[in-house]
Structure 1
Amino acid sequence: MRLSKLFGSVRLVQEVTRSNDTNRSTDAEDPSSLEKRNDKPIMLQTIEIPTLNLYCYQPTQKFTVRHYNKPITNEEKSKSQKLLCLWPLPTVTRYMILIATLMSVLNWLGVLSIACSAPSFIIHRLDFKNMCLAPFLFDWTLQGMMLYGWNLLILGLFEESLTLMLGGGTRRFIHCLFFVFVSLSTIRVTLGFIFSKSTGWAFPSLFFSNSMHECSQGLAPFLFALLVVQSLCIGDKYILIYGQGEHHQITVAKVTLQFIMCLVNYTTQTILWWSLSGLFTGFITTLVMQAWLAFEKREVKDQTEFMTLEHYRRTPLWRLLWSATKRSGWVVLLTLPVLLAWNTYYTRASVVSGHELNTISHDRYLFTFVFMTAPRRGDPAYLTRTIESYLENWPENPSVDSPYARMQAIIYTHFTNHTQFEEAKEHFSGTVKGQRYLKWVHQQGETLNQRLHVSKALDYVTETFGSTYYALMEDDFPVCGQREWHEIETVIYKAEKTVPNHCGVFVGTGGSGLFLKPEMARLTSQLLLHYVDMPPDIIIQKCLMGQLPQCAACKDSLVTSKTLLMYHIGYNTSTSDDRTYKKDEFQCGWRHPFNGDPSVITL
Structure 2
Amino acid sequence: FFAPCANCMRPSPDAGRVLVWCGLTEIFAATAAGLLVTCHIAWHVLGLLLGLGTFDVCPTVTDRPFLTVAVLTAPRRNAPIHLITTLQSLLSAWPQNRSHPLHSRMQIVVVNHHGADHSVWHHARALFAEVSAAARHYVHFIERNLTDLPPLDHIFHLQRAHAHSVLHVAATFDSEYALLLEDDFPLCPLAWGRVLQLLCACDAQYPQSRGAFVATGGNGAFFRRDHLPGVLQALDVASSLRQAEWKARADQCIGAMNKRIASKESHEKVEEMDEWCESNLKHDVIIQRYLLGAPLCISRELLFFHIGYTSSTFDANGDLETKPDWQCGWRQPLTSRKRVVVL
Measured against the shorter chain, the TM-score band is 0.5 to 0.7
Deviation at 1:474, TM superposition (A): 0.5
2:296–2:340 Cα contact (<8 Å) kept: yes
Match of 2:212 among 501, 505, 513: 505
1:522 deviation in Å? 1.6
Shift of residue 363, structure 1, vs aligned partner? 5.0
Q: Deviations over 1:507-565 (max 9, x none)?
A: 0101110000123222112212248642001001011101xxxxxxx2xx111001001
The one-letter code sitting in structure 1 at the alignment partner of 2:290 is C
Query: How many angstroms apart in 2 are the aligned matches of 1:358 and 1:435?
Result: 27
Matches within 5 A, 1:94-493: 351=48, 353-356=53-56, 359-399=59-99, 402-416=101-115, 417-430=117-130, 431-444=132-145, 449-462=158-171, 464-482=172-190, 484-493=191-200
Summarize the Cα distance change of 1:375–1:597 in structure 2 as closer, same or farther, 3 Å threshold: same
Counterparts of 1:472 and 1:357 in 2: how far apart (Å)?
Answer: 24
Aligned amino acid, residue 64 of structure 2: R
Which residue identity does 2:65 align to in structure 1? Y
Partner of 2:11: none
1:184-211 CA distance string (max 9 Å, x none) = xxxxxxxxxxxxxxxxxxxxxxxxxxxx
Any conservation in 1 of the 2:212–2:297 contact (CA below 8 Å)? yes
Gap change, CA 1:445 and 1:540, over 3 Å in 2: closer
The answer on whether the counterparts of 2:160 and 2:283 sit within 8 Å (CA) in structure 1 is: yes
- Three-state SS of the structure 1 residue aligned to 2:161 is helix
Question: How far is the alpha carbon of 1:574 from its aligned partner?
Answer: 1.3
Aligned-partner SS, 1:523: helix
Q: What residue identity is the alignment partner of 1:575?
A: T
Alpha-carbon distance change, 415 to 585 in structure 1, aligned in 2, over 3 angstroms: same
Which residue of structure 1 lines up, in the alignment, with residue 282 of structure 2? 535
Contact 1:476/1:570 (8 A) holds in 2: yes
Q: Which amino acid letter does the alignment assign opposite residue 579 of structure 1?
A: N
Cα-to-partner distance string for 1:482-505 (whole Å, 9 max, x where unaligned) = 2x1110111111101111111010
Amino acid at match of 1:441: I
Q: What SS class does the counterpart of residue 405 from structure 1 fall into?
A: coil
Letter aligned with residue 367 of structure 1: L
Give secondary structure in 1 for the equivalent of 2:67.
strand
Which amino acid is 2:318 matched to? T
Is this contact kept in 2: 1:358–1:402, CA < 8 A? no
C-alpha change, 1:508 and 1:579, in structure 2 (3 Å) is same
Q: What are the superposed Cα offsets for residues 232-258 of structure 1, whole Å, 9 maximum, x if unpaired?
A: xxxxxxxxxxxxxxxxxxxxxxxxxxx
Please state whether the residue corresponding to 2:208 is helix, strand or coil: coil
> For structure 2, which runs of at least 5 residues remain unmatched after alignment?
1-40, 241-245, 251-279
Counterpart of 2:314 in structure 1: which amino acid? S
Structure whose CA Rg is larger: 1
List gaps (5 residues or longer) in structure 1. 1-344, 547-553
Are 1:357 and 1:489, in contact at CA under 8 Å, matched by a contact in 2? no
Deviation track 1:118-144 (CA, whole Å, cap 9, x = no partner) reads xxxxxxxxxxxxxxxxxxxxxxxxxxx
Percent of counterpart pairs with the same letter? 32
TM-score normalised to structure 1 length: 0.39
- Which of 542, 556, 563 matches 2:301? 563
Question: For 1:393 and 1:479, how far apart are their aligned partners in 2?
Answer: 9
Runs of 4+ in 1 over 6 A off after TM superposition: none
Q: Could you list the per-position Cα deviations for residues 152-180 of structure 1 after superposition, in whole angstroms to 9, with x for gaps in the alignment? A: xxxxxxxxxxxxxxxxxxxxxxxxxxxxx
Distance 2:163 2:289 in 1: 16
* Higher RCO (CA < 8 A, seq sep 6+): 2
Per the alignment, residue 572 of structure 1 pairs with 310
2:202 is matched with which residue? 495
Within 1, Cα distance between the matches of 2:98 and 2:194? 20
**8 Å contact from structure 1 (residues 371, 474) kept in 2:** yes
Q: Alignment partner of 2:176: what SS? A: strand
Task: Give the alignment partner of residue 328 of structure 2, picking from 585, 588, 598.
Answer: 588
Q: Shift of the alpha carbon at 1:599?
A: 2.3
CA contact (8 A) 1:374 1:413 kept: yes
Partner residue in 2 for 1:202: none
Residue 453 of structure 1: CA displacement? 0.8
